[in-house]
Structure 1
């Protein structure tokens, strides 16, 4: 009976709330550092934030919701590095679970906008691009590439 009492007493004890430093990298990083860490320049990051702000902005019951800018930066860092989520979270002071939820939220918001930015070419345009790629690199049947770096 005493063990049960001790168990419930321990459960009732509240853990102290941990307040992490959630500094926004947009506030203290220069443009070169932003591009190195997130692979986008400041103006492009701000336009992405403006594009999906209404979709990813949320409030939670504890008043500790991440700003839309931090959410976008977390996602961009993951996309740029493919790193571990807990390491990415350390950059802005959040947990791995928060990074995971943020990635899902931002990725879904960006996916909703994909039709505005990515279009497949018509057959005529694809043939023109194939000819141009072949002239440059000698590789047949290529009509597009991503980023151009290997």
Structure 2
């Protein structure tokens, strides 16, 4: 009996040591590099942008998204940008995207926020309406395109799908019955966005967005 108890005690000690070792062990999966493993065509299909454009954007936001340390296998800047673009293009589940790259769902969520904020900070450099000195040239370019006089921009609204939640979730339901943000955008003659309004619920009519926009006030 004493021998049996000793064997049982030894087995319990081995089990405890094994469990502790398993908890301490951290396994980092290899993260495939889409720049290397995907052709140009497949890359564009997945991320809606070319490899060169993604490299350019990554360099623009690198200072705001790069981690100060490589401890714990920090996510490289290029992969952070690709994760964000993949989410923008497909609206896929965070957990699914995390599993594909060997990351946690919380890490992917943090990456989305970090990259989105970094890109948003670039807005003043690339999204601005033409000043008075450029108006005549803008009118001329629009006239040359379609013979439309005194046009300084093309405006329209588009519904961006979201997940409606909370007490005000119904306010996000558009006329087609699904939740969205009604985004107003203005482009110039070269198809560049020069003004964006993206904070109205899907239930709001296009005309109300324009009536309350800074752009209308500036024209008046």
Query: Within 2, Cα distance between the matches of 1:128 and 1:104?
Result: 38
Does residue 63 (structure 1) correspond to residue 72 (structure 2)? The answer is yes
1:37 corresponds in structure 2 to 46
Superposition deviation, residue 91 in structure 1: 3.1
Q: What TM-score, normalized by structure 1, do the two folds share?
A: 0.72
Query: Within 2, Cα distance between the matches of 1:101 and 1:57?
Result: 13
Deviations 1:38-91 (CA, angstroms, capped at 9, x unpaired): 000011011011111121110457331011000000011011111111122233
* Match among 59, 63, 73 for residue 54 of structure 1: 63
Question: Contact conserved, 2:81 with 2:115, CA < 8 A, in 1?
Answer: yes
For structure 1, list consecutive stretches of 5 or more residues without a partner in the other structure: 1-8
In structure 2, the CA distance between the partners of 1:47 and 1:17, relative to structure 1 (3 Å rule), is same
Count of aligned residue pairs for this structure pair: 135
1:101 corresponds in structure 2 to 110
Q: Max radius of gyration: which structure?
A: 2
Q: What TM-score, normalized by structure 2, do the two folds share?
A: 0.51
Which one has the bigger helix percentage? 1
Question: Contact conserved, 2:28 with 2:102, CA < 8 A, in 1?
Answer: no
Query: Within 1, Cα distance between the matches of 2:48 and 2:126?
Result: 18
2:33 corresponds in structure 1 to 24
Which one has the bigger strand percentage? 2
Query: Within 1, Cα distance between the matches of 2:118 and 2:131?
Result: 27
Superposition deviation, residue 142 in structure 1: 4.7
Name whichever of 58-67 and 32-41 sits farther off: 58-67
The equivalences for 1:115-130 within 5 A come to 115-121=124-130, 128=139
Does residue 78 (structure 1) correspond to residue 70 (structure 2)? The answer is no
Larger RCO of the pair (alpha carbons < 8 Å, separation 6+): 1
Q: Cα RMSD between the aligned structures? A: 3.3
Superposition deviation, residue 92 in structure 1: 2.3
For structure 2, list consecutive stretches of 5 or more residues without a partner in the other structure: 1-15, 148-152, 156-185, 193-220
Deviations 1:91-130 (CA, angstroms, capped at 9, x unpaired): 32212111100011111111111111111345857x959x
1:113 corresponds in structure 2 to 122
2:96 corresponds in structure 1 to 87
